[in-house]
Structure 1
Amino acid sequence: MRHQRLPRTWTLRPLTEAPVDGPIPATVPGCVHTDLLAAGLIPDPYRDDNETRLGWIGRTDWAYEAVFHWEDTGERRVDLVCDGLDTIADIELNGVPVGSARNMHRRYRFDLAGALRPGENRITVRFSAPYGYAEHWRAELGDRPGAYDEPYPFIRKMACNFGWDWGPTLVTSGIWRPIGLAAWSVARLARVRPFAGAAGRVRVHVDVEREPGRDGPLEVTAEVAGVAGTAVLGPGESAAVVELRVPRARPWWPRGHGEQPRYALTVALRAPGPGAGSDARLDVWRGRIGFRDVHLDTGGGAFTLVVNDRPIFARGVNWIPDDCFPHRVDRARYAERLGQAAGAGANLVRVWGGGVYESGDLYDVCDELGLLVWQDFAFACAAYPEEGPFTAEVEAEARDNVARLVHHPSLVLWCGNNENLEGYRDWGWRERLQGRSWGAGFYHDVLPKVVAEVDPSRPYWPGTPYSGAPDLPPNDPARGTIHIWDVWNRREYGHYRSYRPRFVAEFGFQAPPAYATLRRALSDDPLTPDSPGMRHHQKAIDGNAKLAAGLRPYLTVPEDFDDWHYLCQVNQARAIRLGVEHFRAQWPRCAGAIVWQLNDCWPVTSWSMVDGDARRKPAWYALRRAFDPRLLTVQPRDTGLVLVAVNDTGEPWRTPVRAARCDFGGTVLAGHGLELGVPPRGTAEVALPAAVADPGDARRELLAVTAGDRRCLWFFAPDKDLELPAPDFAAVAEPVPDGARVTVTARGLLVDLALFPDRLDPAAEVDEQLVTLLPGESVTFLVRSPAPLDPEALVARPVLRCVNDVLAPGGPPR
């Protein structure tokens, strides 16, 4: 087997009327938008409202062309291997048609016989406009309801390309993954699917493609950890299984449950026997596997992932494409973003169905970090047609991606779709469809059959939310998975406490991105919540009104932009922490909380923990506390306040606990001590006595519960109703290598103290956020910055903030 990458440098030209001419320098992998941007022919799509002037790109036909040299070294078969074509593509080599593609989500392979020649070759890839293709099939098959008035259900393409409530409408075309040539003779490895269980047993399923007329015997050898096995394919056979057993194989565990050892697996294909080429290695596959078992416990309505016979609470984050142009997301970026997920305490990433099946780098990094992967199939928030070319494309796409990803131990669940079952049942789709297909055949027939055949080692779930059977209400908290979106859309976040779910696959709350992110992306002057750029980078329906509605029950809706920006971020952080703590306190009844969402694809006000410029919002720091393996939380019950301790470690947690009801001046009004014992992977709940749980004056008191180095606070009233003292503290900033150290000592109560060094240097970041200090307490923030920072500015508004400086009399911090 010989591989040759095609050149990175191509040319691009429009094939239909467009405001640009060709040829235009192009880069592969890439897309039209990034090529036009690099050529200076369009403005940055992420700045201001530039997006609105680029809709013509998705309505234009385009051609990519390149010239490459090919040396014939005697292989009998040469294939063009396309890892990703976006989306409606027709390919010519030296003027000869060699293949076509109609699906962004799958790989293609085309035989170049009769087209490829020794020496110079010219390849042309013509892309038809995505809008034209999708609108043709919409007219042909009849419209389908969806979340947005866009034709994305009628093309097998990244749905959020057509816009979402956190993303722009930037409809792409291009060669978005590598493209090259593969030359071979006799036979090649078409598919390798290793299944490695926790007991050290490996079954390696191998499918081969034979060169026509070459039906002789073949030999497949698999080797891992010094153990090898062989299977022989007889004449004409195309599939084999090699079984191995690795003594003392160490199991792969999710993050927080053990280590993540992986083992190198090599699979080789040979043609044994006499004659020329005997025993020659025809092809080889290499990958890394982990030994683990997984199943899904759904008994009694449960939805619990079980890995190596251990039930797992999923501390999860939802993943959307990290860029509207996904070819720009390389391994380093995956490592950074997934490292942020792990740093926040997550042990699971759900790859959402409105994006793409990510590159192997995402899953490989998750393997390394111990982040479980829940993988949606690529369907989201719409009724999808099953007629025309779509059923065949969906099956091919599913087979390709399931086989491609099967060796990753981090991958633990295949899910049929995002919110389509709920849409059909609860959003009025059934009446609008008038009997037309909507995707049920995909979720209940095609996809489960593909998973059962290609990857029987993992569970399949038809969609989320889903209660376990088609005739049940899909978003029932008592069964399966639910999404909670009445909070944010209609209710304040305290309503999370009304839920007793089995597994929450989506919930979230919005906030604007970091100030430096806004300043880079927007030219608004002045910057206000309703300035033109801010409005354009808020894609949620009535988003700013919902931000204001979320502030009113707890804080205030300030007129000053800096106050608005800070309080919105505080409110998002509190919403996420309240929801996560409430759901974790219900373990083992509730077995998962997947926050919407980890990341953004551009600079935008959204539900993300990490904004579009990779800056961590305050909510990220709150999530880190809420995802702490050992969590201490005060929860309200009908009978009063209780203390819940969650121990998601393998060791018992025994510690003395002190609960104190204090006034805002720090005076202890009542105290209570107890000994806390929590079993491994368990919870403990203790009622707090009235002396500490019932305030004398709810406006001037709080409850502090301390266990070792962990503390949780409970305020008896919303901040807006508290009589917070004016901010009173001493703050000192001193330079240290690569940044600064800022120490704040409270002379009075300080609520949600935060430091925003990105306002001074966009590259600066801080190690902690939203710290509440009682009188006499101190906190030290470590700031990393490549440039020196002004010490006085570091300890002044708007860099150093607390809730007191908005809600309490006395002005800003001093």
Structure 2
Amino acid sequence: MNRKQILGIALLSAISLVGCQKKDASLMVATKISANWTFHQADKEEWLPATVPGCVHTDLLANGKIEDPFYRLNEHKLQWIDKVNWEYKTTFNIDPDAIKRDRIALDFKGLDTYADVFVNGTQVLSADNMFREWLVDVKPQVKEGANELRILFRSPIIEGLKKYDANGYVIPVSDNDQAINGEVPDGKMVSVYTRKAGYHFGWDWGPRLVSSGLWRPVYLTVWDDARIENLQLKQNSVSEKEASLTAVFEIEANAVNEATVTIQNDGNELARTNIKLTKGISTYPVDFKIENPKLWWTNGLGEAHLYNIKGKLEIGKRITEKSERIGIRTLQLVRDKDANGTSFYFKLNGVPVFMKGANYIPNDVFPARVTDEMYQKVINTSKISNFNMLRIWGGGIYENDRLYDLCDQNGILVWQDFMFACAMFPGDDAFLENVKQEAADNIKRMRNHPSIAMWCGNNEILAAWFGWGWKQKEEAKSKENADKIWKSYTDIFHHILPDAVATYDPGRSYWDSSPCAGMGNPSDLNNGDDHYWGVWWGKDPFKMYATHIARFMSEYGFQSFPEMKTVKQYATPEDYDIFSEVMKSHQRSSIGNGTIEYYMLQDYKKPKNFESFLYVNHVLQAEGIKFALEGHRRAAPFCMGSLVWQINDCWPVASWSSTDYYQRWKALQYFAKKGFEPVLVSPYTNNDSLKVDIINDKLSEIKAQLVTKVLDFDGKEIWKETKDVTVPANSSNTFFGTKNSDFMKNIQANKQLFVVELVENNAIISTNTLYFKPIKDVLLPKPDVKFEINAVQDGFEISLSTDKLAKNLYMTIGDEEGFFSDNYFDLIPAQPVKIKLETKLTKEKLQEVFAIQTLDGAF
């Protein structure tokens, strides 16, 4: 929409909409209602300024009425907020021309959650789903001049309690619903009765902050004759010569009329069709072709090429239009029977692709606070870390369009959960209808994104019912109620959601629950995806990651605290103990800090102080997950996906994240970057064998030399072997193997390490190391690390060298901001490295704050 088309918009004291001035104007214009909002607690007199989009908590914080919920124990003081009603209001103005428009509507992109909407004192809407969009006709209620918009947000806890008490039986919910922490009467877990982000009620990595408000924008929209409700772009077929597509216009018309619809690609008209509009909402398909199409590829395999498609609706000289970006590609979830069971992998443009990435949760517990910069940062992290998939987890939100746009641009596929996690749900008609509309809203909003790989019904509910004992527990209480609970499950996940996908996005796959082995079948290692939590919850050793492997590993992880700089932002020195009240509160796993310590003492000596504990914890997490990253990739093509839990945090906390709330990289993110390189050389032990595998994700073979050697900690070469190798395209194979007991006869296991390099055209394209003993049993030397700092564009280049092994070298710049291109790595004698530091610091300041830590100094 250009400036000449927006004839209906002017800013008055609040929001003003100027009517259509002439007959060749746009059919439809919209303006955001974002100014002059105020809010108050519904039973109090005081009105305060509000921000829209936003929420009650952030507005209270901005007005100085509450303290930062993330700081120390403040969260616990704020549990009263979700048990009262809140009211928001503003005024918009409509001029004499606007009032003459055929239709005037309010378009709410997100109301959280129980919201009664009034225009000039008349109720026009009662919303009850955070995840839906609400378009409501207000022409009968508005008048020329000033109009009042008022929204009453009813307490989600009070509303939930009403439904809980009326249900007749208790629906099973995991203890991620922190009702007791939230001071809910009798600890009643009411989250499942409200279509609202599950993580707001708490999770084992998140706080309990149940908010309300206009969390996405609201628009005042006016139009004449007709508007484009939705534009679906369906790919029918694709070849090197052409792609055949259909644009499906979903048009709401006020009356029968003659119209023309056109499709353009980057301004070039591809199709034009005359149609006859019928009153109401109808669809109108238009076929078109794109010649010599450029395909959309995932990160690492090619360009994520996008086409800018515009659909136009013309009635006389009036026009309205809708733009979408698409990628042309074929993508299928392959479920073929084989000797092991049933495959589970994605084939992109005819190529089987190993999925590398992470699970993604909302970037903030208050989602309206997430900025474009935050989205860009997390997707840039994914891209430079060699990810090609993110799983949008089912206890958060259907993300903003901006996130999917960035995934489209950067070749990151999205495994998209529907918003259901770790709980059974009601099955009454009103709830099921609400879910049906929620699914339609979100599928239609997101389906044109080439990044959307698959729709998944829920997170871990099938696993909970069959594997966590829920089914047996409920049947023991009442077989009748247990049957009702299971019927609700099948109604939602075996009927409503797959039917919605089949109706609105038939080209994509549906998977009913993660993990599972197929519709209604609990997960196993041979037939679907798996969440492996034996490491962590079961206290299995890290090496189990390399043997407990399914067809697709969609969740696994290990915890760490944030770095010291982040801890300082939510705690004070008196809190610097992992068992302090603040540290325990910023740790929501029921076994959290003790489990971190347990695993640490298996492989490392006890750190000498709190800051050293954080550093060793980062190393522990990264080295542990390294077993999984490499083990999963070595297992291809049996295993074809590895998604670590999790890439981000919604507040500063000890969690499984690889980047913390401020998106500062932990050691794990650096290790994931290396573990997901397109070409990976991986040394490991298997029973009594010492092996080296080479994984090549590229679509062309590699001719190289495999160099295997043993070095002592002074860098002296003890043993070396070089062999020529040809590594097939898109493959994982073993290229070196020997009996470990024989190999170790001449090795000093506590003073030497195994180093592997893959060399192509005299350049090392992949390198890796293997230690023969746990680090607590290794005689780590005290290295003398030399460094030189030189200014380069956007920061500095740091040249590093050492006289002895510098294990897990960690560079910091105190409390200043910056990003190191690599960190927590092993610096080997006679193998100097250069690291880029992106920062705005001066050289003088950098030299003042720059510091290096190595593992030998942590104990």
Cα distance between partner residues in 2 of 1:7 and 1:428: 48
Q: Which residue of 2 aligns with 1:412?
A: 453
Q: Does 1:138 align with 2:179?
A: no
What amino acid is aligned across from residue 280 of structure 1 in structure 2? R
Contact kept in structure 2, 1:231 and 1:242, CA below 8 Å: no
Which residue of 1 is the match for residue 217 of structure 2?
178
8 Å CA contact 2:454, 2:509 repeated in 1: yes
Kindly state the Cα deviation for residue 672 of structure 1 after the two structures are TM-superposed.
1.6
Q: Output the CA distance in 2 between the equivalents of 1:5 and 1:561.
A: 49
Q: Which of the numbers 308, 326, 330 marks the counterpart of 1:289? A: 326
State the partner residue of 1:274: none
1:445 Cα offset (Å): 0.6
Asked whether 1:55 is paired with 2:79, we answer yes
The alignment partner of 1:167 has SS state of: coil
Contact 1:59 1:129 in 2 (8 A): yes
The match for 1:635 is 684
Amino acid at match of 1:721: D
Give the counterpart of 2:502 among 434, 452, 461: 452
Match of 1:717 among 769, 773, 792: 773
1:209–1:704 Cα change, 3 Å: same
CA deviations on 1:123-181 (whole Å, 9 max, x unpaired) are 10000001111221122223211222432111000100011111111101000111011
8 Å Cα contact 2:256-2:276 kept in structure 1: no
| Percent identity of paired positions between Structure 1 and Structure 2 | 31
Q: Name 1:280's counterpart in structure 2.
A: 318
Partner Cα distance (1:169, 1:8) in 2: 29
| Corresponding residue of 1:163 | 202
Q: Could you tell me which amino acid in structure 2 is paired with residue 476 of structure 1?
A: D
Assess if the C-alpha contact under 8 Å between 2:296 and 2:305 holds in 1: yes
Retained in 1: the 8 A contact 2:34–2:53?
A: no
Equivalent-residue separation in structure 2 for 1:784 and 1:113 (angstroms): 54
Aligned position for 1:483:
531
Q: Is the 8 A contact 1:198 1:308 kept in 2?
A: no
8 Å contact from structure 1 (residues 524, 533) kept in 2: no
From 429, 436, 442, the equivalent of 2:492 is 442
1:205 aligns with 2:264: no
Q: Deviations over 1:16-46 (max 9, x none)?
A: 47xxx52011011110111111101100111
Q: Does residue 423 of structure 2 align to residue 382 of structure 1?
A: yes
Q: Distance in 1 between matches of 2:137 and 2:729?
A: 57
Q: Which amino acid is the alignment partner of residue 412 of structure 1?
A: A
Q: CA deviation at 1:733?
A: 4.9
Tell me the equivalent position of 2:800. Answer: 744
* 1:266 equivalent among 294, 310, 315: 310
Question: Deviation per CA, 1:366-404, whole angstroms, max 9, x where unpaired?
Answer: 111011111100001111112152101100000000000
Deviation at 1:751, TM superposition (A): 1.2
Aligned pair partner of 2:829 in 766, 770, 775: 775
Displacement after TM superposition at 1:90 (Å) = 0.5
Between the aligned partners of 1:530 and 1:756, the Cα distance in structure 2 is 25
The code of the aligned residue for 2:299 comes to R
Q: Which residue of 2 aligns with 1:244?
A: 288
TM-score, normalised to structure 2, is: 0.89
For the residues of structure 2 that align with 1:330 and 1:550, how far apart are their CA atoms? 36
Distance change >3 Å, CA 95–CA 641, structure 1 → 2: same
- The alignment status of 1:318 with 2:369, answered yes or no, reads no
Partner of 2:711: 662
Say whether residues 1:803 and 2:830 are aligned partners: no
Please say if residues 198 and 252 of structure 1, whose CA atoms lie closer than 8 Å, have aligned partners that are also in contact.
no
Distance 2:589 2:141 in 1: 50
Give the distance between the partners of 1:730 and 1:192, measured in 2 at CA.
Answer: 60
In 1, Cα distance between the equivalents of 2:670 and 2:698? 21
Q: Does 2:655 correspond to 1:606?
A: yes
SS of equivalent to 1:712: strand
AA at the equivalent of 1:748: K
User: Which residue in 1 is equivalent to 2:110?
Assistant: 84
Letter in 1 for 2:307: Y
1:552-591 map, 5 Å? 552-591=601-640
Q: CA deviation at 1:663?
A: 2.7
> Is 419-428 or 256-265 further displaced after alignment?
256-265
Asked if the contact 2:802/2:829 (under 8 Å) is kept, the reply is yes
- State the shift of 1:592 in Å: 0.4
| SS of residue matched to 1:487 | coil
- State which drifts further: 425-434 or 605-614: 425-434
Partner SS for 2:129: coil
Report if the CA contact (8 A) 2:755-2:767 is conserved.
yes
Q: Give the CA RMSD over aligned residues.
A: 1.9
In 2: Cα distance, 1:170 partner to 1:688 partner: 53
**Alignment partner for residue 224 of structure 1, among 265, 269, 283?**
265
* 2:32 aligned with 1:5: yes
Q: Residues 77-115 of structure 1: CA distance to partner in whole angstroms, max 9, x if unpaired?
A: 111100000000000000011111100001001011321
Contact 2:30 2:221 in 1 (8 A): yes
Equivalent residue, structure 1, for 2:747: 696
Counterpart position of 2:463? 422
CA contact (8 A) 1:640 1:687 kept: no
Structure 1 stretch 187-196 or stretch 663-672: which is displaced more?
Answer: 663-672
Query: What is the rounded CA distance, in whole Å, between the counterparts of 1:340 and 1:69 in structure 2?
Result: 44
Alpha-carbon spacing, 1:248–1:694, altered in 2? closer, same or farther (3 Å): farther
The 1:198/1:140 distance shift into structure 2, 3 A limit, reads: farther
2: CA distance between counterparts of 1:346 and 1:91? 43
Q: How does 1:523-542 map to 2 (within 5 A)?
A: 523-525=572-574, 527-542=576-591
TM-score (normalised: structure 1): 0.93
Q: Would the aligned equivalents of 1:206 and 1:240 in 2 still touch at CA under 8 Å?
A: yes
> 1:620 matched to which residue of 2?
669
Aligned to 1:367: 408
Secondary structure of the structure 1 residue equivalent to 2:699 = coil
- 5+ residue gaps in structure 2? 1-27, 178-188, 475-481
| Matched residue type, 2:857 | D
Query: Does the Cα contact within 8 Å between 2:310 and 2:324 map onto a contact in 1?
Result: yes
Structure 1 gaps of 5+ residues are 272-277, 808-814
Aligned-residue offset at 1:542: 1.9
Look up the equivalent residue of 1:625 and give its one-letter code.
Answer: K
Cα distance in 2 for residues equivalent to 1:371 and 1:695: 46
1:125 corresponds to: 151
Residue 536 of structure 2 aligns to a residue whose secondary structure is helix
CA distance in 1, matches of 2:421, 2:238: 34
Give matches, 1:648-659, under 5 Å: 648-659=697-708
Which amino acid in structure 2 is aligned with residue 484 of structure 1? Y
- Distance in 2 (CA, whole Å) between partners of 1:338 and 1:594 is 15
Structure 2 CA distance for partners of 1:140 and 1:2, relative to 1, 3 Å: same
Q: Is 1:134–1:155's contact at 8 Å kept on the other side of the alignment?
A: yes
Assess if the C-alpha contact under 8 Å between 1:253 and 1:292 holds in 2.
yes
User: What is the distance in 2 between the residues matched to 1:739 and 1:189?
Assistant: 48
Separation in 2, partners of 1:696, 1:191? 67
Q: Separation in 1 of the partners of 2:396 and 2:698?
A: 33
Shift of 1:790: 5.7
Distance across 2 between alignment mates of 1:681 and 1:155: 45
Q: What letter corresponds to residue 66 of structure 1 in structure 2?
A: T
Question: 375-384 or 428-437, which moves further after superposition?
Answer: 428-437
Corresponding residue to 2:786 among 730, 755, 760: 730
* 2:733 equivalent to 1:684: yes
Greater mean deviation of Cα atoms: 368-377 or 650-659: 650-659
Shift of residue 346, structure 1, vs aligned partner: 0.5
Please tell me the residue identity of whatever aligns with 1:753.
L
